[in-house]
Structure 1
């Protein structure tokens, strides 16, 4: 048996642990379920996410992605991790076992996965300036290595190199030559000889924060002008 890709390793861990809701093992994905979380709640959505919960409703009802345990009626002073352990002590996740949970990466770590020539764009940027309005649409694809691992069956008829596509934020969908950006969910297909993944990214999805922080607004604007 050959070596597994990082994506396959995560899937295997999740399968072996018999997760209640494996699609919610990603913290960023769990956080997105809290868009209707009541603002009057005494506990924060991020603390609940870190404790393994995603929002199911109604009111303040949450559920663990691993054991399926449900908690609600949160009170001031409640600690999500402590409550999880109190009511569901056999949960593999809350007991500290590796069940394939994917933590949210700090912004700097996300952009450290970009080629070094672009990292200088991030230097000197304060924490407030680096705050992004949204989490990546596919947080499990945040690293270049993970994106590259999706190109196992990349069609031979295309001249595009997977390394170039992965570096520009794209992962392979498994259909024809369709790729998607892990951050903005923008899709591109029908690649031709000489295409530049960064330019195509800027042409079709100029508002992508990953693109803007990686290449800069000047680059994106110049690409837009060349096609106007």
Structure 2
């Protein structure tokens, strides 16, 4: 559906907009395993950097991200996607070599999925590659960012939010769009002394509840601005 009708893919339009205004480079840090970010960046004709070579069998290297892909000819910019919990198309073989094998319907024989699932082994797995490099780059991206846009993130992941909370407490701006703000989100931002935020969630009447450090709390009646597609109508003319 995304490929057949890219015009109906709001994440694509958002990435295109950001690439046109952010020096042709942006970073996505995600806890999800899906590949929506990769599809959107591909449709935007951007170079994608995940730490893996973008080959049919993409090997992982801690050096790939050091290339300046944003200057590559024939592309519309660079999108770094740091998937801190792994991806549906990441696998390791019996020799512990990591590969990106895209668009697989089945697990390749002799390979193990590289995703961090909830459980006792969750944190021990992240001390090994590719996660060690990916976490370092995600932390660097958060530290160097001018601001943050969070889509559906509930501030419930101990891997991501310590650095993010530290940065927004230093007055870096943050926008959050989600169907329902979690208590942890409100605690981390509103109750934590952050001074540059705007949060959107669904209001009980179907409109949008807004929490803003500059304009206070208010409701936008009759509009689903907490949905990315509707939000984009506010920022893209």
Question: Quick check: which has more Rg, 1 or 2?
Answer: 1
Per residue, is there more helix in 1 or in 2? 1
Structures share fold, TM-score greater than 0.5: no
TM-score calculated relative to the size of structure 1: 0.25
